[in-house]
């Protein structure tokens, strides 16, 4: 009698999972908390009399709601991706055809991310190429002291370009079966990503303009900050792959998890190069 559970096709029929709806609900809670924070709306409050007038006393604030949603999202993502890793690494469900579908999915995901950045670049170019009367038809607006692109920004550019080299080196080492070099280059890539984030945080802390100081600062921080967020996510992505590599995961012919992280990291590199020349260098003439 044949095994009723034997694999008789090259496709993966995903088992029912609670994690997609769990992550969707958690993300909703997190972003609802963020929206309440932006509009300064408390979640639960009471009123008390102080000097003859009513004063709101917030019990649970929007920050707590955002934190709860964020923790739930992290837990859901950890559990969901843990199941995906188990399916591919231990259960053998990620056949060549399944991996092809995963590659298409990752490619389309990166395309959707490109559209995000197109929006931020569009806003910056619209404001800079066609300055309005509100800023006296001058770009950058008067009073804005722009950041020197040949100081910290060029350092960060070199760091990201170097990290692109190390992640490619790691990929080639894995394909050639050199796991020691693969893990070493992956460590270097994670460290370079962390350095980039630290330098950008330092740059922000020493900028002479804040997020709400006009159209220049808003578009600048949205473009560079959104990219910085992607660097942080990409660094975590690579760090997870490093932990998996230490656990003995990935084979020369089967390593889509790392390959997806490498694609994402190269995407982050390319976006930064465009951002550097268009936003940092372009405004200096």
> What are the tens digits of pLDDT across the range 168-223?
999 999 999 999 999 999 999 999 999 999 999 999 999 989 888 889 999 999 99
The confidence score (pLDDT) of residue 99 equals 85
Give which of 165, 147, 168 is closest to 223, Cα–Cα.
147
The confidence score (pLDDT) of residue 88 equals 81
* Token duo for residue 134: 């509100």
The confidence score (pLDDT) of residue 59 equals 55
Domain boundaries, the chain: 15-93, 95-284
Check for a shared fold between 15-93 and 95-284.
Answer: no
> What are the tens digits of pLDDT across the range 48-68?
666 666 655 555 567 888 999
Task: Note the pTM of the prediction, 2 decimals.
Answer: 0.85
- Cα(248)–Cα(244) distance, rounded to whole angstroms? 6
User: 265 with 189: CB under 8 angstroms?
Assistant: yes
> Where is pLDDT greater, at 15 or 284?
15
**Under CATH, which number does the domain 95-284 receive?**
1.20.120.80
Give which of 156, 184, 158 is closest to 242, Cα–Cα.
184
User: Integer distance in angstroms from the first to the last C-alpha of the chain?
Assistant: 77
Q: Which segment, 77-86, 133-142, 160-169, 205-214, is predicted with the most confidence on average?
A: 160-169
CA 147 distance to own-chain centroid = 23
Q: What is the mean pLDDT of residues 93-98?
A: 83
SS3 68: helix
The confidence score (pLDDT) of residue 108 equals 96
Give domain 15-93's CATH number out of 1.10.150.120, 1.10.287.70, 3.30.2350.10, 3.30.365.10: 1.10.287.70
Work out the mean pLDDT of the chain and round it to a whole number.
88
Helix (H) or strand (E) holding 44: strand 44-50
Share of the chain above pLDDT 90, in %: 62
């Amino acid at each position: 009698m044949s095994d009723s559970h034997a694999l008789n096709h090259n496709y993966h029929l995903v088992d029912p999972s609670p994690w997609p709806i769990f992550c969707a609900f958690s993300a909703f809670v997190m972003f609802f908390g963020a929206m309440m924070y932006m509009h300064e709306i408390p979640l639960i409050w009471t009123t008390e009399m102080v000097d003859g007038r009513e004063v709101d006393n917030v019990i649970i604030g929007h920050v707590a709601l955002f934190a709860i949603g964020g923790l739930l999202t992290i837990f859901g993502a950890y559990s969901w991706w843990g199941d995906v890793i188990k399916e591919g690494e231990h259960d053998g469900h990620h056949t060549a055809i399944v991996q092809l579908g995963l590659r298409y999915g990752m490619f389309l995901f990166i395309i959707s991310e490109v559209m995000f950045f197109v929006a931020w670049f569009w806003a910056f170019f619209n404001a800079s190429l066609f300055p309005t009367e509100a800023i006296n038809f001058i770009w950058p607006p008067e009073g804005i002291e722009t950041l020197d692109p040949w100081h910290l920004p060029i350092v960060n550019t070199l760091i990201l370009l170097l990290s692109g080299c190390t992640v490619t080196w790691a990929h080639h080492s894995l394909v050639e079966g050199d796991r020691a070099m693969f893990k070493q280059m992956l460590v270097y890539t994670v460290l370079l990503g962390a350095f980039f984030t630290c330098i950008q945080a330092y740059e922000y802390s020493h900028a002479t303009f804040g997020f709400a100081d006009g159209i220049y600062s808003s578009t600048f921080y949205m473009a560079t900050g959104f990219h910085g967020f992607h660097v942080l996510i990409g660094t975590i992505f690579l760090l997870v792959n490093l932990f998996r590599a230490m656990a003995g995961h990935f084979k020369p012919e089967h390593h889509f998890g790392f390959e997806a992280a490498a694609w994402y990291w190269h995407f982050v590199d390319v976006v930064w190069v465009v951002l550097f020349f268009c936003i940092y260098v372009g405004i200096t003439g």
